[in-house]
Structure formats: C-alpha cells, structure tokens
C-alpha cells in the first residue's frame, strides 16, 4: 500500500493542459475522450467464456483514491465494451473504506458489488457470510476459463491471505511487500552491506547515524494503526520466533513479543527522528527522498516516490534488500494486497457480472495494461509472478535502484508468512489494540512488557465479549 503516482500522471496531465482543454470542463471532457478512444478487446476474447452473459448489469465498485486504481478506472471502458456491463467506481478515503464496506455488507444492501478489500477482513466477511467464497466461480467453466485466467500465477502468499478455512474469498488485484530501502552511497562510504540479520540492521543504522548533518540511521512506521505500526511489528515478531496463538489462544505478551517490541522501540528511539511516532509510509518516503534517512523498511512500491524527479534528491543512490533474518533465522515480510471479493447480497446475475469484472481486472492482460503496457499510470503492484519477472517489467523498474526487482520478487516468493498477523474475525479490534500498545512503548509511556501485558488483558476482554 504505497507509492506509484509519479511523473507519468503529471506528464499526461500536462498534455491535457497543453491541449487547451477548457478549465472547468476538463475532467469530464478528459473522461469522455478516454471513453471514445478505440478499445481493443481482442486479447480477452481468447478466453473461452461468454463475456456477455451478464450484459446490461450495472455494478458499483468501491476503491480508494490511489494511482493503481486510477489505472484500472482508465481501462474500464474496455470492460464495458467487452461485457456490456456498466461499472461505476466510487473512491472512498482509505480510512473509511472498511467501515463503509462493512456497513454495506452487514445491511445486505448490495451497494458495492465488490470493493478493494483488506485481507485481514476476510475472516469477518466469511464468518458472517457477507461475501461468497469464490472457489465455485473459479471452478465453473462457464464463468472462468482456467487455462486463460491462470489463477495459480497469482502470488501464492496473497491468495493465501485472502483465504479463510481453505476457501478463497477475494482475488488479489494489487499488492506490495516490505523490504529494506537504503542509501547505497552512505553504505559504501562506511563499507556497509545491507543487513542480513536484525542485529546487523541496528549496527548499520548506528554506523550511518549522523543527526547533526540531518541523516538519521534507520526508521519504520511509528504511527499507531493496524495498517501502520501493526503492519511492521508483526514481521519483527515473527522473525523473533513469536507465535500469535498458543494452543488456540491469542498471546500478545510472549517473551518473543516483548523482545521484538524492545528491538523496534530501540531502533526507532535511537536512530529515527523524534517525529517518527507520527510517521506513516508517505512521511517515511518523503523523508528518505529528501536524504534525511539512511535506511528504512517499508513497501517496495515507495520506489516510484523515491524516484520521482519532482520530489526526490536521492535518485540513483537507492538500494533495496529483503528483510533481515531474526533470531529465529526467518525473514518475514508483510503480505498486502487489495483484493476483490463478491458481495453475497447480489442477485445471481449481478454476481456473475461481478465475477467477470474481477477476472477481467485481475487477468494478466489487464495487469499488463495497467502497468508496463500503460501509457499513463504504471502500477508496480502486479499480482502475478511471471509478469513481475518479465522483461517488460524489468525494463520499467530498471532505474529504481540497486537490486529492486530481485529484492521484491524474492521477498514475495520466499519471505511471506501466512502467520504474519493473527487471522481472526475480531482482527479490527485486536489490530487497533496492538497498535496502541506499540505506540505506548515507542513514546516511552510504558515499558514494552507492560504495554503488551495490558494489550493482552484488553484483547481477552474483546474476545470474551
């Protein structure tokens, strides 16, 4: 969940402006012009499914305001030409999309045929039967041409994250992985290599830490939130050998948990700017792009921001590496994808239309058209390993910095961990409780052990209720 807006958007916008489109009319004119552009539906017709079986349906899809969804929205006329299904997108701010989706699902109003879903929410959707498992549709030859769609190409960790009790609930559309992002010039000056272990990472940070010259040694997301500090801490926790569940019970304050939190607090208090407690990924990327961070661990997709010539001062000085190993010997990365589930409250025909939309959006063809084959926004978070390893993709990211492609694909293929975060229907509350505890330890309000003990107590209450 981070960055790829970048220069292409700006360039294309400049073109529109240069074209002298009238000031106020511009947005509509631009969209209209897009819709009029000839669409090529040929490659999709290779699939042995009847694309027009749900013709006339109208779908609303909730997405977040993000370049990668803009790329999809730009391609939507192709889908309409292909299927005769009308699709409308509604952009919901990231902080509200979960709440709005739950409102819609729980009231069974069927407003959103599908929405950009947080993988941690599928347990909740499944246990309430708000969304249909998609294995039936995946296996139905009338709906899916398995040979054309090639579901197995989609990154397994992401598919795993969208699976509950063995049944898939959402098809990943876009995603990311977390990696080390460092300044290779600073590392070279000190003769450092990217850290192989968490200990090394701290040592590297100490070596390049030079706050007097506005270079801080290492940082991670410090902001409290299930998708912020609780997005980073689980990787450390698992690398320290932590297990979320002991004999079926959620345990937050295990010795590994405490050690992991101590490591995180230590790094951030010693080698991050004091403001890090309020920092989320865009802030980290902004700081790194201004040369004030020597290292941070965050999403690979930040690369587009870091390489945006409009903003960045560190282009050409960036290197990437997988997460270091923890005491357990494991490297654990985050698993994130925006997937599309099927709303259970839809009519049968609308479900088929929705499924056609999902397979269209997540197909290799659309993935390519919204990424390396796009003339506008080029997404980084492609959902298929073969495409990530393709020449075309490699050419697109060749200037992003040392080892970008390798670190990213290896991380996705090897470092993903199904037990990365505790999967359970109560995740929203559990995630927020943990986020609060982590921040309490970070700002020094509580000792790590104390903070986790308290979180444990609260979570026990939540699970009881």
Q: Which residues bind another protein (CB under 8 A)?
A: 1-5, 9, 13, 16-17, 21, 23-24, 26-27, 30, 60, 64-68, 70, 88-96, 99-100, 103, 107, 109, 111, 214, 282-283, 285-286, 289-290, 292, 301, 304-305, 308, 310-311, 313
Q: Which is nearer to another protein, 1 or 164 (CB)?
A: 1
**C-alpha angle 178/232/460, rounded to 5°?**
145
Report the alpha-carbon distance of residue 380 to residue 405 in Å, rounded. 10
Q: Which is nearer to another protein, 23 or 38 (CB)?
A: 23
Q: Which is nearer to another protein, 5 or 394 (CB)?
A: 5
- Smallest distance from the beta carbon of 339 to another protein, in angstroms? 15
Burial class (CB in 10 A: 0-12, 13-18, 19+), 420: buried
How large is the angle between the packed helices 427-442 and 255-271, nearest 10 degrees? 50
- Smallest distance from the beta carbon of 256 to another protein, in angstroms? 30
Helix, strand, coil content of the chain in percent (nearest 5):
50, 15, 35
- Smallest distance from the beta carbon of 205 to another protein, in angstroms? 20
- Smallest distance from the beta carbon of 338 to another protein, in angstroms? 9
248 phi-psi bin (left φ>0, alpha ψ -120 to 50, beta other): left
Report the alpha-carbon distance of residue 69 to residue 74 in Å, rounded. 9
- Smallest distance from the beta carbon of 44 to another protein, in angstroms? 25
- Smallest distance from the beta carbon of 99 to another protein, in angstroms? 7
Q: Which is nearer to another protein, 25 or 444 (CB)?
A: 25
Q: Which is nearer to another protein, 168 or 172 (CB)?
A: 172
DSSP states of 363-393 as a string? SHHHHHHTTTT-SS---S--SBHHHHTSHHH
Q: Which is nearer to another protein, 310 or 348 (CB)?
A: 310
Q: Which is nearer to another protein, 17 or 206 (CB)?
A: 17
Q: Which is nearer to another protein, 102 or 146 (CB)?
A: 102
Report the alpha-carbon distance of residue 373 to residue 377 in Å, rounded. 10
405 to each of 61, 381, 387, 395, how far by Cα in Å?
31, 12, 12, 10
| DSSP assignment letter at 335 | -
- Smallest distance from the beta carbon of 417 to another protein, in angstroms? 23
- 78 by DSSP, 3-state: which? helix
Report the alpha-carbon distance of residue 423 to residue 430 in Å, rounded. 10
- Smallest distance from the beta carbon of 186 to another protein, in angstroms? 17
What are the backbone angles phi and psi of residue 344, rounded to the nearest 5°? -70, -15
- Smallest distance from the beta carbon of 273 to another protein, in angstroms? 11
Report the alpha-carbon distance of residue 374 to residue 368 in Å, rounded. 7
Q: Which is nearer to another protein, 29 or 413 (CB)?
A: 29
């Amino acid at each position: 969940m981070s960055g790829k807006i970048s220069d292409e958007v700006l360039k294309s916008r400049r073109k529109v402006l240069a074209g002298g489109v009238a000031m106020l009319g511009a947005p509509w004119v631009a969209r209209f012009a897009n819709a009029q552009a000839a669409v090529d539906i040929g490659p999709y017709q290779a699939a042995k499914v009847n694309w027009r079986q749900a013709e006339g349906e109208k779908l609303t899809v909730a997405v977040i305001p993000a370049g990668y969804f803009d790329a999809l929205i730009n391609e939507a006329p192709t889908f309409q030409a292909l299927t005769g299904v009308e699709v409308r997108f509604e952009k919901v701010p990231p902080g509200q999309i979960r709440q709005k989706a739950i409102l819609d699902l729980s009231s069974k109003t069927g407003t959103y045929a599908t929405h950009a879903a947080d993988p941690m929410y599928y347990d909740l959707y499944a246990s309430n039967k708000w969304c249909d498992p998609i294995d039936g549709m995946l296996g139905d030859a009338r709906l899916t041409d398995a040979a054309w769609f090639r579901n197995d190409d989609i990154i397994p960790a992401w598919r795993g994250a969208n699976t509950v009790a063995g049944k898939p609930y959402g098809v990943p559309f876009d995603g990311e992985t977390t990696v080390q992002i460092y300044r290779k010039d600073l590392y070279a000056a000190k003769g450092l290599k990217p850290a192989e272990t968490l200990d090394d990472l701290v040592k590297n940070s100490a070596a390049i830490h030079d706050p007097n010259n506005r270079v801080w040694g290492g940082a991670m997301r410090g902001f409290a939130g299930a998708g912020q500090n609780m997005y980073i801490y689980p990787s450390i926790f698992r690398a320290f050998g932590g297990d979320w569940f002991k004999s079926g019970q959620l345990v937050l304050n295990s010795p590994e948990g405490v050690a992991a939190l101590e490591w995180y607090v230590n790094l951030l208090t010693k080698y991050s700017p004091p403001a890090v407690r309020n920092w989320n990924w865009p802030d980290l990327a902004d700081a790194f792009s201004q040369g004030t961070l020597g290292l941070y661990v965050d999403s690979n997709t930040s690369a587009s921001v870091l390489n945006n010539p409009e903003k960045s001062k560190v282009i050409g000085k960036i290197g990437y590496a997988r997460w270091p190993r923890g005491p357990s010997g494991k490297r654990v990365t985050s698993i994130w994808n925006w997937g599309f589930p099927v709303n259970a409250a839809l009519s049968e025909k609308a479900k088929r239309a929705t499924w056609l939309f999902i397979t269209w959006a997540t197909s290799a063809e659309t993935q390519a058209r919204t990424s390396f084959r796009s003339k506008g926004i080029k997404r980084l978070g492609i959902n298929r390993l073969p495409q990530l390893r393709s020449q075309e993709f490699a050419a697109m990211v060749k200037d992003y910095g040392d080892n970008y492609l390798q670190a990213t694909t290896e991380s996705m293929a090897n470092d993903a961990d199904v037990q990365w975060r505790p999967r359970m229907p109560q995740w929203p509350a559990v995630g927020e409780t943990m986020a609060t505890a982590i921040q309490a330890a970070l700002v020094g309000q509580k000792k790590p052990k104390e903070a986790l003990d308290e979180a444990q107590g609260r979570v026990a209450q939540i699970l009881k209720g």
